[in-house]
Amino acid sequence: MSARDKPDTKDDDEDSKYLMDCLDLLVAAGYFRARIKGLTTFDKIVGGMVWCLSHCNRRIDSSLVFEEDLDIGHKIILTEKVVRVLTDLQCPHRIEPHQIQGLDLQNIYPVIQWLVKMAMDSKASRAEYLKSYIDYQYNKCCGKVPQIDLYSENYNILHKSIVPQRKFKRSSNLKISSLLEDAYCTLAEFTGRSGKMEGGFEGPSNTVFQSDHLEELGDKKRLKVSTKTAKKIFEEIDVQTAAVDAENIKAKLDQAQGDLGDLEKQIEGKGEELAMVDAALKENKEVEELYKKLTPEEIEEARKYLEEMEAMKKRERQFEIDAEAEMEAIKREIEAYKNMEDATEEEVKELEDKLAAERLRLAEVTQRVAQTSYQLESEPSQLEMAQYLQRLMELYNEMGSRNRETKQCITLHNTLLDVSNYLEKDIELLSKIEEILPLAKKESYRDSFIETLTNICRSVEAVQKKVTERTAELLEEKARLTAEYNELNEQRREFNRLVEKMKEECELNQKLRRLLAQAEREEAAQQQSTSQS
């Protein structure tokens, strides 16, 4: 059996490996429907390809929508569109629709690799673009808000009022006997939380400020205060300032949060408007690029299709308007008939008959529309017919391969059967020879055997002579047929040459006829102009 005659078989292990690699790539890219066990392999692979194409940040065919459990016709249309979009995106790997439909994973795998890489790059670039866009919008909007300076001023005032400021400094001759006294004296040095500490301290009448305990930083005035008085002052300051500061901070914080919410809403509104403008500009740019790529014939053909589609839409809208108007008229008639109090039974029956007739007519029209739609949808297109033909050719080739394999098996079986028959005959002959070996030693049997063998040799020579004569006759017949074939080939070539020459003469004749007609028209025009002058 030669290598050419071997049957075409698929390596299931290699296909399984390619399938797992494709599904792993799609899941890693973010298409998690590839892990659903209930879906078919076609739905997983083609669905992942369509998902990657939709994330490539490029303008693609708007009708490229994937649905699961499609029939053979819709699968053919979808694979044709996927291949066309891959060609428009300049995919470096070439693939045909029948390879996608037949799940040729060895050729699909590099395409999915390229699509996943392109989708990931597009997602990263889009994320970077959105980040820069958000930063730009924030800087743009926040830079123009006049309340920022006011907020900064309020923040500085609030910060100055909250942060403690040192107003006094401990003198060098102050002696501290305990840690608690040291803490009180330290807190008494900072008087920025209360106006009482800045303007003066209010304490009991027996409290005396000692000038050698505290020294003011501003004007270096001496004040005397005892440890017990500092403790009372600090407690009073904490109670009074804590309530005031908490209320002020809460009010300012609420106001700042409200202003921040308003600014965020304004930023979101402006961001949506700018995104819509950018999307419109991008779409216009893509339309211009697509318009530049198209040829005038394609543009004219697309314009015709658009005109036909608009005409069909107008007819559909007109039909809907007419149907609605007719329905409204019927409803008004029905309402009018219902409001008639003196209507007779005959009139009611007549109206019911008219309504039934109109309903029947509407049902017939709806049925005809449904039949027409079904006929239009059931009729295959040229692409579907080409795909069917391609699939039939593949099935024909597969049947031919299976037929060759069957013929080879039958030939091998017949050969083995012939070998078995020959071996049986050899065994039978050897058995007979073994049986007649004692008789062969006799002189009479030996003479008869030699005579029989001589007759057989003569008959073989006669048959060989006949075969030789027949072979010579066949060779002569072959030579004669070869000569006739060569002569017919020569006549065919001569005929083709004469046909080409006749075509050239006909073209020359047509050219001369056109020139003659043109000359006659020029002469007639010249005569007409002469007669008019």
Per-residue pLDDT tens over the stretch 486-508 = 999 999 999 999 999 999 999 99
Domain assignment present for 31:
yes
Across all residues in the chain, what is the average pLDDT? 76
pLDDT attached to residue 60: 65
Q: Is the pLDDT of residue 178 over 80?
A: no
Domain assignment present for 79:
yes
Domain assignment present for 314:
no
Q: Where are the alpha helices (DSSP H) in 144-226?
A: 147-162, 179-189, 195-199
Task: State whether 446 and 436 are in the same domain.
Answer: no
| pLDDT band at 470; cut points 50, 70, 90 | very high
The structure tokens listed for 441 are 């030693």
Range of the domain at 117: 12-125
Q: Is the pLDDT of residue 334 over 70?
A: yes
Task: State whether 421 and 516 are in the same domain.
Answer: no
> Residue 343 and residue 352: Cα distance in Å, rounded?
13
Which candidate, 108, 103, 102, places its Cα nearest to that of 395?
102
Q: Is 0.85 surpassed by the pTM of this model?
A: no
pLDDT attached to residue 337: 65
Do the beta carbons of residue 241 and residue 193 sit within 8 Å? Answer: yes
Task: State whether 21 and 39 are in the same domain.
Answer: yes
Model confidence pLDDT, tens digit, residues 425-451: 999 988 887 887 777 677 777 788 788
Q: Is the pLDDT of residue 1 over 90?
A: no
Task: State whether 528 and 430 are in the same domain.
Answer: no
Model confidence pLDDT, tens digit, residues 96-118: 888 888 888 888 888 888 888 88
Domain assignment present for 196:
yes
Task: Look at 84-88, 185-189, 400-404 and tell me which has the smallest mean pLDDT.
Answer: 185-189
User: Which of 384 and 158 is assigned the larger pLDDT?
Assistant: 384
Q: Hey, which residues does 170 pair with through a beta bridge?
A: 214
What integer is the mean pLDDT of 45-51? 89
> Residue 84 and residue 386: Cα distance in Å, rounded?
15
Sign of CA dihedral 316, 322, 326, 332: positive
Of 228, 254, 276, at which residue does a domain stop?
276
Residues 6+ apart with CB under 8 A from 97: 76, 79, 80, 82, 83, 387
Model confidence pLDDT, tens digit, residues 272-321: 777 777 777 777 677 677 666 667 777 777 777 778 878 887 887 888 88
Domain assignment present for 114:
yes
Task: State whether 168 and 272 are in the same domain.
Answer: yes
What integer is the mean pLDDT of 89-101? 86
pLDDT attached to residue 193: 38
User: Which of 437 and 514 is assigned the larger pLDDT?
Assistant: 514
Quote the number of domains for the chain: 4
Task: State whether 417 and 487 are in the same domain.
Answer: no
> Residue 86 and residue 46: Cα distance in Å, rounded?
13
3-class DSSP assignment, residue 510: helix
Q: How far is CA 491 from CA 415, 480, 481, 488, 496, in A?
A: 46, 17, 15, 5, 9
Give the type of residue at 343.
A
Residues 6+ apart with CB under 8 A from 140: 270
Of 276, 310, 333, at which residue does a domain stop?
276
Of 441, 460, 489, at which residue does a domain stop?
441
> Residue 406 and residue 409: Cα distance in Å, rounded?
5
User: Which of 190 and 75 is assigned the larger pLDDT?
Assistant: 75
Do the beta carbons of residue 237 and residue 197 sit within 8 Å? Answer: yes
Strands 222-223 and 214-216: antiparallel
Give the type of residue at 422.
Y
Indicate the burial class of 172 (C-beta count within 10 angstroms; 0-12, 13-18, 19 or more).
exposed
Task: State whether 433 and 451 are in the same domain.
Answer: no
What integer is the mean pLDDT of 336-359? 74
Domain assignment present for 319:
no
Task: State whether 153 and 266 are in the same domain.
Answer: yes
> Residue 78 and residue 47: Cα distance in Å, rounded?
10
pLDDT attached to residue 52: 87
